[in-house]
Structure 1
Amino acid sequence: MPPGFRYAEIRDARIAWNQTGRGSTVIWAHGMSSRAYGQESSGQFDWRAVSSTHRLIRYDARGHGRSTGGATPEEYTWPELGADLLALLDVVAPDEPVSAIGSSMGTATLLYAALAQPDRFTRLVLTTPPTFWETRRAQIPIRLSSAELVERSGLAALERLAIDAPASPALAEARRFVSPVAVAPALFPPVLRGSAVSDLPDAEVLGAIRQPTRVLCWTGDDVHPVRSGELLAAALPNASLEVAGTPAELRRWPGLVADFLAPLIER
C-alpha cells in the first residue's frame, strides 16, 4: 500500500506527490496518460530498489491522476511540464540537488528541466525515450486524431482501440499490457494536443546536459524506439545506453538504476 499523497499548489495546478524511503532525493516522472504508480502497477518498472537507499518522490504530472490541470494544450507541452517539475522540487526538495528518473513524457520533462536549471540535478535516468526529431512527425496526426476521437466519442472509444499485447518483447511478463488512461476525459484532448506539438531541442542544445546519465530502452516499441535512446546517448556527453529485449533483461533495470544512483548515498 503506497503512502498517502500530499499536494503542492504550483503554477495554477494542484500537484499530487508522495515519498518512500530515506536518503538523498530521487524524483520519478511517469509517462503520458499514466500516474505516479501506474507503470509500476502494470509491471513495467519497479523502483523499490531505489527507495531502499534513497528518498523517492513520485508525483502525478499536471492533469494526470490526482493532479489538476487546465484545458489548454500549451500547459502540457514538454517545456511546461519541465517547469512544473522544477516548481515541485522547490516545494519537496528546496535547495537540494536531486537525481531523477523519467519515462517517455517524463524523460522529456527531465531533459527540459535539466536544461532550464542544470544545478538542480546530479544524475539522470532516462527510460523509454519518446519519439523526437524525425520520428516525432509520425506521432503528430495520431495524437491529434486521438484528441478528436475522445471529444467526439469519449475516452472509452479510444481505449477500445488499444491492442492488448506487450509493446515490447521485454514486457511479455508484465502484469498488464494496456493500462487505463489516468487522465480525466475532459483533459485528455489538451494533453494529447500538447504532446503533438512537443519535441526535443537539437543535439547541440542537449549537449549542455553534462550530468552522468543512463538511457534505458526496450526493443520493438515504435512509440519509444531504440533509435531515440541512441540519439540521446550520442547527444549527451556523459550518457550510456542499455537496451532490453527480453523480460530477463528488463528485470535488471531496477538494480542497474540503484547501482547508478549509489554514489548519491554518501552525499
Structure 2
Amino acid sequence: MTPAFRLAEIRGARIAWNQTGRGPAVVWAHGMSSSGYRQESSGQFDWRAVSSAHRLIRYDARGHGRSSGGRSAQEYTWPELGRDLSAVLDVAAPGERVGAIGSSMGTASILYAALAQPDRFTRLVLTTPPTIWQTRRAQIPIRIASADLIEHHGLAALERLTVDAPVSPALADAKRFVSPVAVRASIYPWVLRGSAISDLPPPEELAALDLPVLILSWTGDDTHPVSSGRLLADALPDARLEVAATPAELRRWPGMVVEFLDSAPTTTR
C-alpha cells in the first residue's frame, strides 16, 4: 500500500511528500507532467530495490500531483524547482546527507540543488537527462505552442496529439506508453513555459560539482537524448554514463542504482 502523503508549506506552495523503507535517505525527483509514483506505475522505472535498502523520499513537484502551484513561468524554472527540492529535504531529512535520483525535469532540479548545496548530497543518479544547451533550443517553440494550445483548446487537445508508442525501444515492455498528465490544465501552460525558459548552467559551472554521478540514458528519445547524457558525463568531474537500448538493459537500472548508492558515505564530511 502506498504510504499517505504529507503536505509541507514550502516557498509559497503546499508540497506533497512521503517516504518508504529504512536506512540512508534518498530523494526521488520525477519528470515534468508526472508525479511521485506515476513513472513507476507506468513501468518506466522501478525503485522498489532502492526503498528496500534506503529510505526513499518521493514528492510531487510544485504544481504536479497533490502539490499546489501558481500561474507564473518563473516558479517552474529548473533553478526554482531545485530550491523546492532543497526545502523538501529540510522537512523530510533535516540535517542529513542524502542520495538523489531524478528523471528529466527532476534531474535538472537535482543538479541545481546540488550546485547550491553540494555538502547536502552523497551521490547523484541522473536518469533520462533532458535536452540541454544546443539541443534545448528546438524545444522552446514546442513548449510555448503546447502551452498556448492548452489555454485555447484544453488539455485534451494536447493529449490527442500524443502518439501512443514507446518513446525509446528500452520502454517497449512498459505497462503504458502514455501516462495521463498529472498537472491541472489551469497550471500546465505555466509549467511548460517555465520549462521553455530553463536550461542547465554551462559546463564550467557543472565542473565544480565534485560528487559521484551515475547518468542513465535511453536511446531513441529526442526529448531526452543520449547526447545530453554524454555532455553531462564530459562536464561533471566524477560521472559515469550507462545507456539502455532494450527492456533488458532498462531492467538492470534498479540494481545498478542501488549498488551505486550503497557505495556512498552517509556521514557528514
Question: Same fold per TM (> 0.5)?
Answer: yes
The one-letter amino acid of 2:61's match is A
Superposed CA deviations along residues 177-235 of structure 1, whole A, max 9, x for unmatched, are 00000000000000000000000111000011111000000000000000000000000
- Corresponding residue for 1:136? 136
Q: Is the 8 A contact 1:23 1:265 kept in 2?
A: no
- Corresponding residue for 1:121? 121
Question: SS at the partner of 2:263?
Answer: helix
Q: Is the 8 A contact 2:122 2:266 kept in 1?
A: no
The one-letter amino acid of 2:190's match is P
- Corresponding residue for 2:12? 12
* CA distance, structure 2, for counterparts of residue 57 and residue 113 of structure 1: 15
Question: SS at the partner of 2:216?
Answer: strand
* CA distance, structure 1, for counterparts of residue 251 and residue 189 of structure 2: 34
* CA distance, structure 1, for counterparts of residue 170 and residue 176 of structure 2: 13
- Corresponding residue for 2:82? 82
Matched, 1:225 2:225: yes
* CA distance, structure 1, for counterparts of residue 234 and residue 12 of structure 2: 36
Question: SS at the partner of 1:52?
Answer: helix
- Corresponding residue for 1:197? 197
- Corresponding residue for 2:238? 238
* CA distance, structure 1, for counterparts of residue 231 and residue 106 of structure 2: 17
The one-letter amino acid of 1:83's match is R
- Structure 2 counterparts to residues 1-267 of structure 1, below 5 A: 1-264=1-264
Q: Is the 8 A contact 2:47 2:254 kept in 1?
A: yes
**Structure 1 length normalisation: TM-score?**
0.99
Question: SS at the partner of 2:7?
Answer: strand
Q: Is the 8 A contact 2:42 2:177 kept in 1?
A: yes
The one-letter amino acid of 1:174's match is A
* CA distance, structure 1, for counterparts of residue 235 and residue 65 of structure 2: 32
The one-letter amino acid of 1:63's match is G
* CA distance, structure 2, for counterparts of residue 157 and residue 14 of structure 1: 28
RMSD (Å), alpha carbons = 0.9
Q: Is the 8 A contact 1:216 1:229 kept in 2?
A: yes
Superposition misfits of 4+ residues, deviation over 3 angstroms: 264-267
* CA distance, structure 1, for counterparts of residue 257 and residue 234 of structure 2: 20
* CA distance, structure 2, for counterparts of residue 258 and residue 243 of structure 1: 17
Superposed CA deviations along residues 213-266 of structure 1, whole A, max 9, x for unmatched, are 000000000000000000000000000000000000000000000110112487
**Structure 2 length normalisation: TM-score?**
0.98
* CA distance, structure 2, for counterparts of residue 120 and residue 52 of structure 1: 22
Question: SS at the partner of 2:233?
Answer: helix
Q: Is the 8 A contact 1:54 1:265 kept in 2?
A: no
Question: SS at the partner of 2:223?
Answer: coil
Structure 1 stretches lacking a partner, 5+ long: none
C-alpha displacement of 1:128: 0.1
The one-letter amino acid of 2:188's match is F
* CA distance, structure 2, for counterparts of residue 222 and residue 266 of structure 1: 36
Superposed CA deviations along residues 64-113 of structure 1, whole A, max 9, x for unmatched, are 00000010000000000000001111111111110000000000000000
Question: SS at the partner of 1:65?
Answer: coil
Q: Is the 8 A contact 1:99 1:123 kept in 2?
A: yes
Q: Is the 8 A contact 2:97 2:266 kept in 1?
A: no
- What is the aligned residue count? 267
Residues 111 and 134 of structure 1: is their aligned pair in 2 closer, same or farther, counting only changes over 3 Å? same
The one-letter amino acid of 1:57's match is I
The one-letter amino acid of 1:163's match is V
Q: Is the 8 A contact 1:215 1:242 kept in 2?
A: yes
* CA distance, structure 2, for counterparts of residue 159 and residue 208 of structure 1: 40
